């Protein structure tokens, strides 16, 4: 964080309804739309001012994501290669062994990751699977890494067990706006997503929740999604913004690519409305130019997934990220 942000920076942030040390939970679509529609240079300037009030603008958090159980999911998320309803060529696998997960965690830490995120393709975890999941949380945490899990919907019992194991973060994306949600997923509701987020937050586990751009949604849907997150009782600690990677065999395999400028606008809006959250540039980076990623960092993105693969999709990899960081003068956030 800068020691002496300029008067103009503080004023710009305040003009957008964000006090330098304050948080808002009363955003309206109209207010968010006005910000989103600002001239591009003005929007980025204001987002960068807000960003500098809470974060070092040249430091980026590195996280690594591992699929601990791939494929065979009963949900019908239209973007997902792991749904059992679509012919994507992905074979379902059993849950990974603990030592295999820990080997990946050690490599992630060696590559500069400070958070290790583990995901399973489930509607929700079964109790028979929880002991193995809890061991993963405990052992990865013992390495000095922050732990994050994404396991689908959670019951009160699930949340209590994860909390006892010391889980730091739980990821459960809202994906898109409440209005558009049923066009993408029909096997669970938008309210189901919010309910899991409430359970996680009330248990004292940090929330990681964001969405995907490129599902066929409108700009208004993108704005509504971010307003939903910004108006939660507590802002998500991490807000991943994904660019759809259209997977052959899914209903969205022919989806049009997101306009890069529109994507940057969404990053900037997330930063302005959730000033103290990590905004993560997530899936889709392998298809982004260095220039587009640079604009995203300037707009307030300060977290990435590192490594060559996300759950099932390609990612730029360590070498590409090191080169990009060197070009931009960025450094990885130090671990705890």
Does residue 280 carry a catalytic annotation? yes
Active-site residue among 63, 73, 296, 306?
73
Active-site residue among 77, 115, 188, 193?
77
DSSP states along 23-59: ------HHHHHHHHTS-HHHHHHHHHHHHHHHS-TTE
Active-site residue among 49, 63, 80, 306?
80
Does residue 63 carry a catalytic annotation? no
- Burial label for 6, CB within 10 Å (0-12, 13-18, 19+), is exposed
Active-site residue among 46, 49, 63, 148?
148
Does residue 179 carry a catalytic annotation? no
Does residue 73 carry a catalytic annotation? yes
Query: Which residues have a Cβ under 8 Å from the Cβ of 118 and sit 6 or more positions away?
Result: 65, 66, 68, 101, 133, 136, 140, 147, 148, 149, 150
Active-site residue among 52, 199, 265, 280?
280
What are the CB-based long-range contacts (under 8 Å, 24+) for 135-141? 135/98, 136/68, 136/98, 136/101, 136/102, 137/162, 137/165, 137/166, 137/167, 138/165, 138/166, 139/98, 139/101, 139/102, 139/105, 140/101, 140/102, 140/105, 140/116, 141/165, 141/166, 141/168
What is the Cα–Cα distance from 97 to 116, expressed in whole angstroms? 16
Active-site residue among 49, 52, 63, 117?
117
Does residue 296 carry a catalytic annotation? no
Residue 47's closest CA among 270, 272, 296?
272
**How do 169-171 and 303-306 pair as beta strands?**
unpaired
Active-site residue among 208, 222, 271, 306?
208
Query: Looking at the annotation, which residues are catalytic?
Result: 73, 77, 80, 117, 148, 208, 280
């Amino acid at each position: 964080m800068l020691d002496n942000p300029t008067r103009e920076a503080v004023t710009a942030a305040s003009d957008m309804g964000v006090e330098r040390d304050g948080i808002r939970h009363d955003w309206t679509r109209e207010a968010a739309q006005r910000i989103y529609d600002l001239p591009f240079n003005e929007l980025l300037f204001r987002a960068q001012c807000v960003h500098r009030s809470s974060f070092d603008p040249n430091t980026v958090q590195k996280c690594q994501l591992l699929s601990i159980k791939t494929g065979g999911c009963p949900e019908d998320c239209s973007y997902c290669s792991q749904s059992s309803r679509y012919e994507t060529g992905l074979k379902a696998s059993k849950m990974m062994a603990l030592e295999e997960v820990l080997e990946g965690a050690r490599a992630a830490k060696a590559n500069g990751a400070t958070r290790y995120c583990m995901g399973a393709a489930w509607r929700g975890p079964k109790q028979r699977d929880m002991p193995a999941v809890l061991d993963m949380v405990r052992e990865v945490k013992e390495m000095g890494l922050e732990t994050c899990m994404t396991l689908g919907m959670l019951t009160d019992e699930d949340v209590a067990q994860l909390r006892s194991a010391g889980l730091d973060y739980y990821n459960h994306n809202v994906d898109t706006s409440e209005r558009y949600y049923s066009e993408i997923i029909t096997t669970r509701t938008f309210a189901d997503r919010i309910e899991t987020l409430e359970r996680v937050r009330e248990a004292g586990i940090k929330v990681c929740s964001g969405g995907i751009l490129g599902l066929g949604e409108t700009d208004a849907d993108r704005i509504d999604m971010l307003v939903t997150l910004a108006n939660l009782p507590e802002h998500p600690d991490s807000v991943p913004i994904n660019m759809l990677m259209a997977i052959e065999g899914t209903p969205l395999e022919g989806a049009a690519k997101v306009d890069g400028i529109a994507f940057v606008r969404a990053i900037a809006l997330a930063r302005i409305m959730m000033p103290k959250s990590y905004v993560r540039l997530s899936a889709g980076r392998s298809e982004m130019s260095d220039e587009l990623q640079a604009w995203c960092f300037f707009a307030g993105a300060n977290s990435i997934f590192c490594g060559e693969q996300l759950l099932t999709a390609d990612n730029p990899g360590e070498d590409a990220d090191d080169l990009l960081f060197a070009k931009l003068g960025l450094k990885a956030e130090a671990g705890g």
